[in-house]
Structure 1
Amino acid sequence: MSEQHALQQALQQAGERLGCDKVIPHGYHVHYARHLLHWWHQPLRLLEIGIGGEDRELGGASLNMWHQVFEQAELYGLDIYPKQALDRPRLQTFVIDQGDPAALREFARQHGPFDVIIDDGSHRRSDQLASLFNLIEHVRPGGYYILEDYFTAYWPVYDGSTLARDFLDTPVRWLKQTIDIININNLLSEQVRRQVPNWKIDALHVYPGIAFIGKSHHSPPSEIPNEHFLLNQIELDELRYGIYKQLFFTHSRDPMQHLEALLEIKKWVDASIQTADEALKPKSS
């Protein structure tokens, strides 16, 4: 049996015994076994956002699973409800709202950095983004920032949307933009690079319901061969798309900002086409 398979079995057995939804129904333990194998018998600093349950005596299944399986792990859990009943050696809980940037930064300043941060909190897009933006810099090189249940970005009950998925600022949209972040040094425009956060990441692993963002040991490489090629490609990009540049920048900052204006333009274009069509129709004698 491989080490990875052994870890997968250990997580499954502990998770089933503790009632951890990472195992049933989600099956995330398969992916955790793949990506967390390095720390199984090594020191691990793991922060999990969202402990579960609205009572101080409830929740904690996943923290207990990590505690049992990763015997050298130092574990930290954040929740909006007090969970001190779970506290014991190697496991501490804190009452912190994951949507509070200042509280997150202060916590990370005092207790970070971490090898692994898992967001299994409210699943509301504003909370998920607040946590991502303020905590990812506190993941050590070689570690992971992990988003669980990111599919809630498509559901209005979590302030997401399926129809507006390309216009709302959601975790899924940022997972897509992670490819740009990994390739920040292959972007031609300095103005565009300034709009892309330098999270120092070099990997993105996306599975159904769970995504692992990998922190890099080194600056992302550039594949731009030389200065002549760079200047040539900048010029060509400007010739083709420079006229739309401001629209692109506005959209990347806030896709919803000009949605109403775009809708009005579409209505005007549709009406103009209809008027032109009417004018071209043969007139009855």
Structure 2
Amino acid sequence: MKLLRYYDGDSVYPGVLDAKGTLRALSSVVPDIDGAALTSGALDGVDVDALPIVQGEMRLAPCVGGVGKFLCIGLNYSDHAEEAGMPIPEHPILFLKANSAISGPHDDILLPRGSVATDWEVELGVVIGKTAKYVSEATALDHVAGYCVINDVSERDFQTKRTGQWTKGKSCDSFGPIGPWLVTKDEISDPQNLGLTCDVNGERMQTGSSDKMIFTIAQIIAHLSEMMTLHPGDVIATGTPPGVGMGMTPPKYLKPGDKVRLEIEGLGVQVQTVRADD
């Protein structure tokens, strides 16, 4: 299923796409697409075609609500590590985004005050669907609800020049677009063989494949579950392929008016407009 959340006025409602791409309302089945819904079993066997059609164009919300943790893996593509001139890490590099960075897939990217180096990063997102603690690599994917597109928007000066952790450059408002859909894992036969692209103003910047991940999704989940319990609704961004602005000569960063388009095979498209934060 392609699960999603949409705004109607100021309220957010759960939805699902039918086989023809028509939006159907899920609010009679679950109150939201969140950890509770993903573990309740209520979505199992839903007759999507019997659900009411949602009329009109709806603004999409982040495809999962009530996110407990927004975990991110850095430097996880071999070709991106080469681009950055950094050694292959021995273990997954972990940082966190503030949950307040989460935004809808087509919401504007807001350049924070003082920003001079805001960058794009298309990433394969993983949504946890079953509590994971001390899980093995062999069973890790049993704990996945599905996959989504994430833009790990990053302010590089905040990230590298303001003393502290990467989180400073990763957590600004709007720096975590998620969606358009949460695609359940039964629709993705091999998450380690998905194409990823990112265009800025119609120019292709990133082209990659999840088969270039240094640490697979199963390895990431197993590793993280050794140190913390992963709960349903937690989100993991699994790293970005080469082509980020920081890696260009000279570096190229986002400015007001830019259009960013991200796509992952089978997971849909995000489109964002960049503007200065008020």
- TM-score bin (small chain): under 0.3
Q: Specify which structure has the higher proportion of strand.
A: 2
TM-score (norm 2): 0.24
Structure showing the higher helix proportion among its residues: 1
Q: TM-score, normalised by structure 1?
A: 0.24
